[in-house]
Amino acid sequence: MASEFPEAKARWSERELIRNISEIFAEANSDLLVPIGDDAAVVARPDTPLIVTTDMAVEDVHFRLDWSSAYQIGRKVAAANLADIFAMGGKPKYLTVAMAATGNEELEWMLDVARGIAHEAHIVGAQVIGGDLSKSKKIVISITATGEIGEGKRPILRSGAEIGDSIFISNLPGWSSAGLIALQRNIHGELIDFAISEHQAPSVDYENAEQIAFSANALCDISDSLLIQAEQIAEASGTCLEIDGDLITKHPEFAELLQVAKTLNVSVFDLILSGGEDHCFLATGHSLKGFEIGKVVAGSGVRLLHVETPQPGWQHFL
């Protein structure tokens, strides 16, 4: 998840740390179908594979109490986990929630966080089954989600992209990033307020994700940014993802997001390519449900056509 605020630079990047941690935790295990490094881990079971993922939200890093209600915060944290399950081609089943609070919160505020989590879980038919509660100087919410892959189906990995695939997005990213900028600058308006609501609690198209996963070769959740997620697919699959700006401008929501970008005096492609926390989905394959934005070609990394390289988005520890 992206941050609300810039922070001091660390001596390592998030990607570098995860790569090294993966080596420390690596063990020969025939039950582990997908290890650390994708949207979620996948473990073999006698009936259907089990998907496991976890995500954390920290006050003043991922949300602000004066910007978001408790209910919205609950929805947002739950959505981040549920989207990861769908990004593996699975269906969420259960959530466990660990929360640290200051103790100064009203009881009703705490219950509204729970209601927000329950609301998002209910949309996809998942259930909260337990968790933990502790005390902290800042509010921290961590959710672990588990899900299942249907019988006869396989997990959809970032490494599955093939040369000749088309690239699809389930929805146009950039709204959440626009909402964050609007909150920071205290700017409002009809479309601006929609962007703010998408930052406070993204409306994830879970049904579309299921349909995309049915025949996608590669799939991931756009939580960091479209560019970062495309780079991850390219690196994992040993291909180049060629993203065409002209195709993106034909998306049905582009004109509205462009209007928002002009109001905020920012580049619309900075929002779309570098913004995070929309929790829409990026996939490669053929004739997928979604909107086509490019092709998978020979090479490496991400190649942008008909658009200037955007400003880099926010990343943890950079």
Assign 3-class secondary structure to 100-161: EECCCCCHHHHHHHHHHHHHHHHHHCCEEEEEEEEECCCCEEEEEEEEECCCCCCCCCHHHC
**What is the rounded average pLDDT of the residues 160-179?**
97
**Burial environment of residue 35 by CB neighbours within 10 A (0 to 12, 13 to 18, 19 or more):** middle
CATH number of the 14-148 domain = 3.30.1330.10
Q: Going by DSSP bridges, is the β-strand pair 280-285/32-34 parallel, antiparallel, or unpaired?
A: unpaired
Res. 318 pLDDT band, cuts 50 70 90: very low
For residue 315, what pLDDT is reported?
Answer: 57
Residue 263 has pLDDT above 80, yes or no: yes
Q: Does domain 158-305 have CATH number 3.90.650.10?
A: yes
Res. 116 pLDDT band, cuts 50 70 90: very high
Res. 1 pLDDT band, cuts 50 70 90: very low
**What is the rounded average pLDDT of the residues 135-139?**
97
For residue 317, what pLDDT is reported?
Answer: 42
Residue 15 has pLDDT above 90, yes or no: no
Helices and strands (H and E) in the chain: how many = 10, 12
**Mean pLDDT over each residue of the chain, to the nearest integer:** 92
For residue 7, what pLDDT is reported?
Answer: 53
| 249 Cβ neighbours under 8 A, 6+ residues apart | none
Alpha carbon distance 49, 150 (integer Å): 8
| Best CA proximity match to 141, nearest among 22, 226, 55 | 55
Res. 28 pLDDT band, cuts 50 70 90: low
Query: What is the location of CATH 3.30.1330.10 in the chain?
Result: 14-148
pTM value is: 0.89
Query: What is the location of CATH 3.90.650.10 in the chain?
Result: 158-305
